[in-house]
């Protein structure tokens, strides 16, 4: 009978990988929500943060896994609070 033995280092590595994926998933979910809110802003709100309607719609159309900040003045989703 053969079985897999999970040693502590292997378990820790798997936990780190899982934690990394969960952090990435949380950042992607935050990006989806923040981009949706950006697209819903009116022109006055966009003017207050220095972003044009076209820039806001372009940002909102980005893929959830594209997490690099693309607009000046906007932080990456994981840096927003």
Q: What is the pLDDT along the chain (81 residues), one digit of tens a residue?
A: 455 666 777 667 767 767 788 888 899 999 999 999 999 999 999 999 999 999 999 999 999 888 876 655 555 544 544
Do residues 77 and 56 lie in contact, with contact meaning Cβ atoms separated by under 8 Å? no
Please state the pTM of the whole predicted model. Answer: 0.62
The predicted pLDDT at position 1 comes to: 47
List the end-to-end C-alpha distance of the chain, in Å, as a whole number: 52
Task: Return the axis-axis angle of helices 8-40 and 53-60, rounded to nearest 10°.
Answer: 150
The predicted pLDDT at position 40 comes to: 95
Mean residue pLDDT of the chain comes to 80
Do residues 67 and 76 lie in contact, with contact meaning Cβ atoms separated by under 8 Å? yes
């Amino acid at each position: 009978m053969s079985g897999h033995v999970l040693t502590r280092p292997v378990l820790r590595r798997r936990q780190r990988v899982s934690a990394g994926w969960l952090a990435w998933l949380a950042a992607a979910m935050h990006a989806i929500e923040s981009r949706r809110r950006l697209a819903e802003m009116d022109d006055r709100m966009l003017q207050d943060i220095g972003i044009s309607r076209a820039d806001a719609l372009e940002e909102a159309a980005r893929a959830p896994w594209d997490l690099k900040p693309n607009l000046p003045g906007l932080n990456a989703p994981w840096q927003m609070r």
